[in-house]
């Protein structure tokens, strides 16, 4: 079973990959729908959904472990800063 540090490293790798993909998009591509099997989705919506998901986990951490929640919120803020500086 993975420990917290392994999960955080995995999240950091995934966030790095996401930033790399999104950094290559212009606004039109960011808003262009991609057809999936059952619905269409835009990268804009995917990013919104991922941020909403992260916020939910930050909230869970706050209720279980406030000391870990603070560092998770800082990491999340850093990711948002990177995304919006693209």
| Per-residue pLDDT of the chain in tens (86 residues, 90 and over written 9) | 667 778 778 878 888 888 899 999 999 999 999 999 999 999 999 988 888 887 777 677 677 776 766 776 777 777 777 766 65
Q: Cβ contacts of residue 70 below 8 Å, gap of 6+? A: none
The whole-angstrom separation of Cα 59 and Cα 42 is 26
Give the per-residue pLDDT at 1. Answer: 61
Q: Is the pTM of this model over 0.85?
A: no
Give the per-residue pLDDT at 68. Answer: 67
The whole-angstrom separation of Cα 81 and Cα 7 is 21
Q: Which pair of tokens denotes residue 74?
A: 């800082």
């Amino acid at each position: 079973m993975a420990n917290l540090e392994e999960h955080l490293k995995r999240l950091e790798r995934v966030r790095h990959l996401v930033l790399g993909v999104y950094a290559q998009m212009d606004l039109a591509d960011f808003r262009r729908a991609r057809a999936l099997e059952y619905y269409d989705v835009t990268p804009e919506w995917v990013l919104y959904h991922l941020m909403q998901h992260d916020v939910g986990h930050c909230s869970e951490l706050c209720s279980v472990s406030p000391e870990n929640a603070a560092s998770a919120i800082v990491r999340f803020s850093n990711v948002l800063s990177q995304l919006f500086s693209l």
